Amino acid sequence: MVVFLGVPLLIYVVFVISPFAQAVWYSLTNWSGFSPKMTFIGLDNYVKLFQDDIFLKAVRNSVILGIFLPLVTIVLSLILASVVTIGGSSRGQIKGLRGSSFYRVVSFFPYVIPAVAIGIIWLMVYDPSSGPLNGILTGIGLKGFASYPWLGDPRTALIASMFVIVWSFVGFYMILFIAAIKGIPAETFEAARIDGAGRFRTLVSITIPLIRDNIQTAYIYMGIAALDAFIYMSVLNSGGGPGNSTLVMSQRLFTTAFTKGQFGLACAMGVVLAAVTLVFAGLVFLVNRLTGGSKEAS
């Protein structure tokens, strides 16, 4: 009992619970990060946070990412996984499209590329003067996109950044869902085909309910990545974008700690980010339970 439960629990407390508890304590002080001296100031840092328009803008941007990025990524991944596994000919054996193995390998490429490299690649793609995106759009007659600043316009900066994140993750979750769909007996899909179910009906009524736990897990992990998004946003728009349109909480936290030397305030931001993440995960579990996820899984 001590070896199999006590030791892992001790490691978890030391390396997970303890640092979080320290962060909560530091958030109640005016610690500068580079001095052993700190003064307890209570909830002053939290009051300051929610009076800071820039931080509130960062919270809004992070929440937008947390809502839309998992939804778009998971939906696209599900569709692609279904096409690759069961989207082939409607006659004969249940199978995916011809050359599905090639699609799996190609779609997984973006995930193995470091996030920094992905950000640099798309930074060049979005370049207003020499980027290939504007070159292609103007080449097909859309002259309004000549020298268009995708990351410099507050109307498109966040959307363009979100596209990069979706592009980098959709292949990974596609492979995850392919593995889950492969675990469904082929007889189940054959029975649905005999009953006259089309591809969309099969996806909605058969595939999604049977891999619901996988979807829930993927949604939570993608949501956590979206609420952070530090690397992508820092590379694409290190200053937070025009009018802080792409600024996220993790960026604001980093600047507050290492540029301004206000580690106590930065820890308060970290606590808020952790709270938002926990609320997000809790909502996903709650929605899954209210919509009958546990019953279907059983």
Rounded distance between C-alpha atoms, residue 85 and residue 88, angstroms: 8
120-144 pLDDT, tens digit per residue, is: 999 999 999 888 999 999 988 888 8
Residue 111 confidence (pLDDT): 84
Res. 295: pLDDT tops 60? no
Mean pLDDT computed over 191-195: 82
Question: How distant is the alpha carbon of residue 60 from its chain centre?
Answer: 15
Please give the model's pTM, rounded to 2 decimal places: 0.87
Q: Is 144 exposed, middle or buried (0-12, 13-18, 19+ CB in 10 A)?
A: exposed
Lowest mean pLDDT among 94-98, 99-103, 260-264: 94-98
Q: Looking at the structure, give the CATH architecture of the domain made up of residues 2-297.
A: Orthogonal Bundle (1.10)
Name the average pLDDT for the chain: 88
**For the residues 25-38, what does the mean pLDDT come to?**
90
Q: Judge whether residue 297 has pLDDT over 50.
A: no
**Cα–Cα dist 225/70, whole Å:** 9
How far does Cα 159 stand from its chain's mean position?
Answer: 14
Q: Where are the alpha helices (DSSP H) in the chain?
A: 7-12, 18-26, 44-49, 53-86, 100-112, 115-125, 132-139, 157-182, 186-194, 199-202, 208-210, 212-228, 230-236, 249-258, 263-290, 293-297
Percent of the chain topping pLDDT 90: 55
The distance of Cα 280 from the centroid of its chain, to the nearest Å, equals 12
Confidence (pLDDT) at 231: 92
For residues 128 and 134, give the distance between their C-alpha atoms in angstroms, rounded to a whole number.
7
| Higher per-residue confidence, 85 vs 244 | 244
Tokens, residue 1 = 């009992």
- pLDDT the model gives residue 298: 44
What type of residue sits at position 166?
Answer: V
Domain boundaries, the chain: 2-297
Q: Which of the four pLDDT bands, split at 50, 70 and 90, describes residue 294?
A: low
How confident is the model over 276-292, as pLDDT tens digits?
999 999 999 898 888 77
